[in-house]
Amino acid sequence: MYIVIVGAGDIGLPLIDIATQSGNEVVVIENDPERADEIAGEYDCLVLNDDATAHNALIDAGIENADAMISTTDRDATNIMVCLLAQEHEVPNIVSVVHDPQHMNVFRQIGVNTMENPQELIAEYLYRSVARPAIVDYMRIGEEAEVFEIRVTENAPIDGKNLIEAADEDLLPEDVLIVAIEREGEDPPITPRGNTRIEADDLLTVYSAFGAEPSLTDVFGHPEDRVR
């Protein structure tokens, strides 16, 4: 893909790293000259030291050929302007971070995909890592639902049971689904069926309509995850 990334700060920098390592053609627009020089010296990408809200900067970045444009600056007004300019050039995929939740409607009205308040998301993730150590990774869906990864411990209530047995014994409520099972020696991950048996040390991807509540993590053998 041809990707234009606006901003090389705390959010833009890891994005540049991922995008370049994945073999994409990346152009970065950064208005801080020192930061622009650092990025140019470290990553295999074109770096423009310019103001992305200036139309010519996007032209120089090859916006007309871009498959995607991602704006990561710390100013919502700048991100909105950059997205509007990208829309003029009919960029297929336009994404922006949004720092102030009150600005979300503006981004939605102009039809831009968004990531809301990334700093808050990071803070929540870090707190979750401390408060709920059994959760390997998670993603919130809507207000309460979550998809999370959790490892099954030996002698957990669900250890040695198949999914039908787990449901019959009310270990897994109807609004909880085990989506995938990563098991040593098995590649790719197992797509579970009713007769699929859960084993200790399995890494499960779980969907829960009510989130990773302690009553649910108990089932996988993690009573220590109860709120202390």
What tens digit of pLDDT does each residue of 196-221 get? 999 999 999 999 999 888 899 999 99
Q: Which residue has the higher pLDDT, 225 or 164?
A: 164
State the pLDDT at residue 228: 44
Q: What is the DSSP string of the chain?
A: -EEEEE--STTHHHHHHHHHHTT-EEEEEES-HHHHHHHHHHSSSEEEES-TTSHHHHHHTTGGG-SEEEE--S-HHHHHHHHHHHHHTT-SEEEEEESSGGGHHHHHHTT-EEEE-HHHHHHHHHHHHHH-TTEEEEEEETTTEEEEEEEPPTT-TTTT-BHHHHHHTTSS-TTEEEEEEE-TT-SS-B---TTPBP-TT-EEEEEETT-S-HHHHGGGT-GGGS--
State the pLDDT at residue 120: 66
**CATH architecture of the domain covering 2-116:** 3-Layer(aba) Sandwich (3.40)
Question: Over 80: is that where the pLDDT of 119 sits?
Answer: no
Tell me if domain 2-116 and domain 132-225 are identical in fold.
no
Instruction: Look up residue 41 and give its two tokens.
Output: 């010296």
What tens digit of pLDDT does each residue of 134-180 get? 887 777 787 789 999 999 999 999 999 999 999 999 999 999 999 99
Nearest to 23 by CA among 47, 9, 43: 43
Q: Give the global pTM.
A: 0.64
State the pLDDT at residue 99: 86
**CATH architecture of the domain covering 132-225:** 2-Layer Sandwich (3.30)
What tens digit of pLDDT does each residue of 14-63 get? 999 999 999 999 999 999 999 999 999 999 999 999 999 999 999 999 99
Q: Where are the domains of the chain?
A: 2-116, 132-225
Instruction: Look up residue 124 and give its two tokens.
Output: 């929540």
